[in-house]
Structure 1
Amino acid sequence: MTIKKKPARPTSYVALDETSRALMDSSMESAFVMDVSGYVLAANKAAASLFDLKSNDTLQQYNIYDLLPQDAADSRRAKIAEAIRDVRAVRFEEEIDGRSLVHSIVPVANPWGEVARLAVHTLDLTKLRRTDEDLRREQQRQIFFMESLPGIVYHLYPDNTIRYANRYFRRYFGSPRDKTCREALNCSDLSCEACPPMESMKTDRALEWDWTDAQGRTFHLQCSPMTDSAGERMIMVLGIDITARQKAEDALKQARDKLEERVRQRTEELEQANLKLTNKSVRLVNAMKKADEATRAKSSFLANMSHEIRTPLNAVLGMAELAMSVTDPDRKNHYLGRIMDAGNSLLAIINDILDFSKIEAHKLALEAIDFDIRRTMEATLDLYMLPAGKKGLDLTFSVDDDVPQVLMGDPSRLGQILINLVSNAIKFTETGGVDVRVSLVEGPEDVVPEAPVKLLFSVSDTGVGIAEDKQKDVFESFLQADDSITRKHGGTGLGLTICTLLVELMGGEIGLESEEGKGSTFRFSARLKVGDADKVEAEMVRFASRNIPDMPRLKVLLADDNALNRELATTLLTEQGHEVLDVTNGVKALDALKERHFDMVLMDVQMPVMDGISATRAIRDPNSGVLDPDIPIIALTAHALKGDRERFLEAGMNDYISKPITMRGFYDTIARAAAGAPPAPSTGASAKPAQTGGSTLFDRQSALDMLGGREALLRRMDEIFIRDVPEDLKQLTESLETHDWDTARRLAHSIKGAARTVGALRTGAIAEQLEYLCKQKDVSTAGKELKILECETEYALKYVTKELGDKPETP
């Protein structure tokens, strides 16, 4: 501040005691006392410095209005007048000559309430605000620097979230908002705990590593632990795209390999390079061995997978051949039942193959179901009566009398073990037979439900046997890629690998006794529990009954984007006297539930605009506005794989009905939900309906059976199939051309369900495969699969049209 003039001496003064003077002088900020006219009566050195007085000059006896610019003097005079008038402290900010000042004016009144003096304290925030501004500029420079870097930069926090990512990152991977690190980077690593950034955060040290993303780009990443502006620990990751460099290195390596090959050829003529040539030859031999082992492992896997699928498929074809050749209804039904069992076994094997990583990681869970051990053995071995008979072999089984009739365990997995062992025994046996025996190893004195038992299963054959030096490799052949048995006899590696795992899960052991040329005996133990015979009997009675369960008249909201499914579900409901309102997506379902009261919701999982899971979560929200957030919700879905049931229930659904819809399961599920009963327990693969492989074109009888034998209803499904599927296929083609994967996946899902409802099984299987490819965003393979689907759909449409024209309309 600039001093305008030397003021006259004030007419009054103030005397401060030593304590007050010391307090004023000790203040680092400006402080002075003035009278009501503006004359300074007492001041500290900081006040004199604030007004730019000389070091040997004092502010005392100056008039502050003379020391201020005119605008500031007028503003200060008004604030002082306000403090005198209201006899209260006044605080305000002002900018003077580029300084940011905060003033506090406190009036000092006498006992009569008159203000004679004022104490003024001034805080200079200029440096502090400049520091804040510099800090903001520095942060902006850092952000600009990170945004302009030709590489990815992101900040990773302990909760696996990315809270900042630069422009280069967002251009390649999109915005990381509301995503975990795994989701944002589309990472395929199995464990986040072993991720280098997490290791860097734990050890508080910098790390470097190379990482390849899902598109094949390779980045050299550096991660450094640090603390953000809020004091929270995080990891800053910087990455440079080294894909081009790696390609150049690969090209250089190829050129180097070619040069080494030329040198190797020349070394035959150069005796002085013989040692170098030898070393390179050894490396080449090792590389060739590794390549051969990799090729052999691939061939072994394909052969073994084919073996596992062919086993139940042969039973299906054989039993179907027998069913077609007989006219006796009882025998035909018996064969058809065995076809159903074999189909379920085939489905279980396919599920194991598709999810083999889960099996290898020992994450497969066994079911706990009450089952009749003798009936299970009979049903399992009936599948192989025909193949054994064709080879002239005797196939027998026996269960010791002391083995409990009903056990608790996983009958489908137990059957899977026996299927593999019996199939192999028949394959390797040319004369004689195969015998299966079940005996009790450990058991309670009193047979009571849930009492632990240990059983021993043995499968003996009179086949070629296995050499002693190969017996150990039989169980490890898949892991070692040793296909010597496969080359000679047809291969059992994958089947025995799965058997070994399943036996371990059952708390048992598997072993082999064999003598070459005299046959083999495979034995395995299993720890189970005694089952409840009443539950097994009740289950048999329930499935034998065809009666529709009793339930009250319901108001049902049906949400499904597929017209065929809506027509079928509506027909089944209205015929039982229920009132139905159908909508095509989750948003419309929410609107309907806000306006009307319903007793139940049937919710398709995959729908446009809003899917069924999102709609269910919205309905369960108490703030959603629906009239009844606790209304029973049943999922309608073609997803029936492991884990889907738990995912639907976790989203808030009460139960689910798998597509294609069957009358019995449809009515049972609705009755169960209407009564407030919990969902039926998952029973694994054996409880699922049999699904036919891609080699079967049509199964109209199964389609009719699912509709309770009602031909008129099947005709209506045919009409909707012919009407809607061509348009769905057209939209599917357009979606694939524009890479709209979500829409394409939903349309493939819709075609799959519609095709299976009318019995077009192979069309449904191909649509399911295309749905999976859309999920994986596999452009080239999806395009090829679409061509196959177009041909199959055209053939299915012709077939259904002919079926519709050949059969007279049934009332």
Structure 2
Amino acid sequence: MDIKQRITSTYRYIEPNLFIIGLFGSIGFPAYYFIWAYIFPQPYENLPLRLVCALLFLPFAIKAYMPSIFYRYKEKHFVFSICFCLPFFFCYMMIRNEWSVEWIMSFMAAIFLSIIIIYDWLIILIFTTIAAFTAALIGYLTMGNIGNGFHSSYLIVFSFSYFTGICFNYRNRIEIESKQLFSRSFSSGIAHEMRNPLGALYASQEVLLELLPESLTDNRLISNAEISKLRNIIKDNISIINNGHNTINLLLSSIDNQKISPNSFHHFSINEIINNALDVYGYKNKSDRELVFFQMNKDNLFFGNDILLRYVIFNLLKNSFYYKDKTNFKIIISVYSKNNETIISVKDYGKGISSTSIKNIFTEYYTSGKKNNTGLGLSFCKKVIDAFAGSIECYSTENISTTFIIRLPIITSPAVDKMKYDLMSVKKILFIGNQNKILSDINHLAFFYNFELFYKKTSSYNIADLNTNNYDCIIIDINTINNTLLTELQDKIATTTIKIIIIHHKNDAQRITLSKAYESYVFEYDHIDKLQKKLITQIFTQKKPNNILFDTINSNKTKIMIVDDNISLRLYSGILLKNAGYDVVEADNGLTALNYLQETAVDLILMDSQMPIMSGIEATKEIRTNNQYSLHQHIPIICYSGSLDELQKEHLVNVGITDFLIKPSSKTTLLNIVNQWL
């Protein structure tokens, strides 16, 4: 970067604060003349020089009113003004005042101010040196001897102040820039993830328009085959939208302090992820899919996140397809194991990368001449693979091929064990049972992994506890639990991602009825090591909520109120609930809902948290505390919101919210939670 670019970068960095700098400078320089001339008289003062400095700072304060020609030279004016008014002025005044303590301190303050304002170390070094030497030269020409009061030790103090200021400011600048780079890279990742589903949705809407008649009077009727196609297209669209939501939610939740957080990491099948990526990737043409070949010797598990790995595959595919017009172009994806690593190879027979470019391939903002390329995709891919404790490399031969090699540690490797150990410290485990030996073993594991352990005796356990505590895993001693409580727990956990471990004892005479979905979670307890292995496996094996719909309970008599200011979401949810046999009423805000409840009873409320006139939170408070709504004080109120963190959920539970539903939700999720509370 040359000096001109450095000056431009420096100006952009400080530009938001120029008004304050200009205000202080234009007022401060003249004001301090009276302080040093009359209140604390100094041997030398210079009002004309101070007025020149004030005039140089004034354009910063009135920048919006300066003529257009000023903007042509604003960056040069900025650097000259700061260097003239800070290092030059204060150095000159220090020399003329024979190195007095007041002016030595003022000069050191000027050094720090100039470093803060012009953060670039090279510009500071060049212009401060020029300013100091110029001040010394002018001082010598005007007063002859400039050494009166000077001690060589001052140079040590000035040098220390200068270099420590530069080092600290440089370190701060690097940290800020790294955060900016990460944020831009992260934003690019979200944008890239959205392009694929949006492209696929656009293509499917074209097909829908083609299949649907233009009007009801159109002579062309829709055949059963076309209806089937329409339904399949809509299902695909729903799947694409869900993938997009999941990706954005994952990317947003996985960022912690400018790094990818491992909190969402689980065991995943590489085979499934790559096949899924190849199925949902937004190919520009259907024939593009035939250019990709996937070969796997053996499926492998890895510890990480499926959506993030899919993002990496998407990015590599996008880069490869840029040169798909090359003769004999194809992409070969291979997965194999070697030296306790799983290796993913993505090889394309495209243009290749030059040896000079390949060294910078994972550097932020580096591009190799592709149009509309931000240079952030591969750098973010590297961050993802680094977060998986793996590595990514690139090898290429120009005009022949490019190969990306991703190395991921196997799930039993020390690196993965270390990640799991660290992640266990944020987990919440519940043990339900009366067996002291098991409780003692779980306490030992809690001490070792530092996770939060909750203990409930079977006789005192209340199923409502699951609504207030976000457990990661529940360990149940099957020997001390009855069928009724176990069934309630199974039904409740079925719609969540809570992991479950059911401990069975040898020679257990008690017969417990388990649904088939939970038979795989039963294991025979005999030693703490076995329990430890089962717990770690279960915690880091992803569980998806069951999508089995329950039969509606008295659906013909059940009335549900939907309270939401978004008419489209009210319509969407209302249709699904009506088709399931429920009676549905709608309200567009909390006040309308309260007015309705004064006249008619409902059995459940779906309530948006934020609405105009009266929010869902205010309406819930009224329902729970006002005797006017005594008939509804204990009915389920489901908070229907776009996004909620744990603190918000805790607050809403205290207000009186029964459960939560993220919108838009699938038909299965909506009906599951409604049936669960009815």
Shorter-chain TM range is 0.3 to 0.5
The structure that is helix-richer by fraction is 2
Q: TM-score, normalised by structure 2?
A: 0.44
Rg (Cα) greater in structure? 1
The structure that is strand-richer by fraction is 1
